[in-house]
Amino acid sequence: MTDRDILAVAPMINGWWKGTISEGTHRRRDLIPRFVSVLSDIVEESTLEPGADHPERVRVVGEMESKLGWIERGIEYVDGYYTSDQSDTDLEWLFDTLNSYAPDGFYFGAHPGDGADFGFWINEEGDEA
């Protein structure tokens, strides 16, 4: 899935996403489920947007739902998931995918003043993250 594919599902940015998504932790067992939850909400909301039945959008939403399902099954059924290389890969994918949903002038990542506060923040440098 390319960034262009992800952006095909992205027009539903809402104000409630701006700010903290998770705070006070760097633990994968805290971050991954929270990021999956937020991204699942984003994907679900995208199915309600105009053009949601466009074949390309349907394909991308299906791919994202599939990937999120794999992560959820890893959390649920894989012993040692949070210490596995797969959880590293999944967390990286979640960061990249959530960042792709950041509105213009924002990025998804750690707050500049608090490295354990993850969310959508204004990019004060003016560059896309």
**Which tens digit of pLDDT belongs to each residue from 25-46?**
899 999 999 999 999 988 887 7
Answer yes or no: is 128 within a domain.
Answer: no
Q: Which domain holds residue 19?
A: 3-122
**Beta bridge partners of residue 30, listed in sequence order:** none
Answer yes or no: is 22 within a domain.
Answer: yes
Provide the percentage of residues in the chain whose pLDDT is more than 70: 78
What pTM did the predictor assign?
0.78
Which pLDDT score is estimated for 17? 57
Answer yes or no: is 129 within a domain.
Answer: no
What's the one-letter identity of residue 38? V
Structural domains in the chain (count): 1
Query: Worst-scoring range by mean pLDDT, 57-61, 68-72, 90-94?
Result: 57-61
Locus of tokens 């994202």 = 64
**Beta bridge partners of residue 120, listed in sequence order:** 18, 108
Nearest to 64 by CA among 45, 87, 84: 45
Answer yes or no: is 127 within a domain.
Answer: no
Answer yes or no: is 66 within a domain.
Answer: yes
Say yes or no to pLDDT of 126 above 70: no
Answer yes or no: is 33 within a domain.
Answer: yes
Query: Worst-scoring range by mean pLDDT, 47-56, 60-69, 73-82?
Result: 47-56
Which pLDDT score is estimated for 22? 87
Which pLDDT score is estimated for 15? 45
d(CA 12, CA 120): 14
d(CA 38, CA 120): 12
